[in-house]
A and B are shown apart, each in its own frame.
Chain A
């Protein structure tokens, strides 16, 4: 099927997965509210499962997208396999977040249907973010995602940490939205359009326009904020720390994936013509992010917060892939994003499994003996941590290898070396958790701890762990798909990383 966007109805098809998920989110909201009205009580389990079903249906619609193509690439939304790939990652992230929140919400006494509905709305925002080919749609998608997340972060109103995290996330998030919006205004003023396909041909003439460059710079800042690149990461540890852990998992995975996809679409595809202008500063930000985040992560006593910094560090690694400026870089980026989503969501899932009751404290000492108390989850957690560190036998190793290779290919030797050094630093804090988990006996009072991750969550963790391992042994086909997905980006006129249309 071919879409030409001349008729508005074609947009309904192009946006089918997003529409399906939006309607489904409303359905979830209605089911919940009709079932219990305004009574304050836990929602039925059916709400969570319904939400999961919605994700599955959306995934099907998303797969269907592969069968249609665009007549011209002028639409506000892209219909290409890059978007489909990113959508799948986002959907996986959302599904993992829902699976680990089952049971967890009850424990914290915040099992409300709105949680799932908001989570789905945020997912819609992420999907749109990966599809946006128009800066205004980008802004709207970003806000749709963010507004839902502001609420989710502060979902546990009775917990001062949750509320505080939400306040900081909200204030700084809308602060950065302001920059993004002003950047869009300046780009709009100088390019006379907000559509990337209209901007790209004008780039040679815009290269000298300070208004455009400042606009592009503000856009960079706005997106860098969402992917948590240093020094725009300041909100991240606090928001991640304060948020209910499933939300943290979603923010660390889905949000990052979607925002990075937008990053690629806007900068790598759209603004490829001014690569020289933005690449230098971005390289420095990548360096700062990799080293800064890893160093700070070393000093963290809380595992949850350590993982927050770890996710910042990974934004740095992903930036190296973006900056590699070649086909392998983009494919490596998608591959790493997938591994990263699985291992990060998994790690946060274990944080849930080990947290005490409603208390979210997750000190390193709380993991003493965890590996023996919970053999399965301990092994799974070790896999995730080793993968995050880039240990061989895990997908994280292959992912880093790909990024390194693409970076070397591009001649970014300093970035490649820094990535290796930075991940060496990261070994210390990841392994520390493994060591504590297996080598330090649990205090006696730990004996009566119960498993705090329900069956579905455990299953999700195990599947993710197996996937992380599988991505080491058979990474070939995923990489193949990633490479083909990247190729679809070239339908936009303009050069992509020197590959050309």
Chain B
């Protein structure tokens, strides 16, 4: 069996990569992918913890997957709507709202 720490470590690294991606990337789609990465890092943590903390962890993952799918559907729709205005998904172009 995989050591727990290793799995958690991997999940933490994935989470950190996702977080860093949100800060540094400019493309809205990539940003969204980074966020999905964060959610999946959490999923990984749940799965890795479930032998130790209870089967609930695996159930939770199903919910998270479903939620992520809903978010993806809405998110992509929003990005399309934005793209129609700006002809671009570069988030640097979106600063009508500020200050």
Contacts and interface: CB of A to CB of B under 8 A. Distances in A.
Interface string B33-66: 0010011011001100100111011001001100
Nearest to B79: A167
Contact of A177 (B39, B56, B94): B39
A188 B60 contact: yes
B92 interface: no
A4 interface: no
The prevalent SS among residues of A at the interface is helix
Interface residues of A, number: 40
B84 to A, nearest CB: 7
B22 A171 contact: yes
A170 B11 CA distance: 23
Contacts, number: 128
Contacts of A189: 8, 45, 49, 52-53
A171 B32 contact: yes
Interface in A134-186: 136, 139-140, 143, 147, 150-151, 154, 157, 160-161, 163-168, 170-171, 174-175, 177-179, 181-182, 184-186
B81 interface: yes
A390 interface: no
B86 interface: yes
A189 B49 CA distance: 6
Nearest to A211: B8
A276 B53 CA distance: 27
Contact of B28 (A167, A177, A238): A167
A498 B52 CA distance: 33
22 contacts: A139-B63, A140-B67, A143-B71, A147-B70, A157-B84, A163-B85, A166-B82, A167-B94, A168-B94, A171-B22, A175-B35, A177-B39, A177-B71, A178-B38, A181-B39, A182-B41, A184-B42, A188-B46, A188-B57, A193-B54, A194-B56, A237-B97
Given A177-B71, A188-B57, 13 more contacts: A139-B63, A139-B64, A160-B86, A160-B96, A166-B82, A168-B94, A171-B31, A171-B32, A174-B39, A186-B45, A193-B54, A238-B97, A299-B99
Interface of A: 136, 139-140, 143, 147, 150-151, 154, 157, 160-161, 163-168, 170-171, 174-175, 177-179, 181-182, 184-186, 188-189, 191-194, 237-238, 241-242, 299
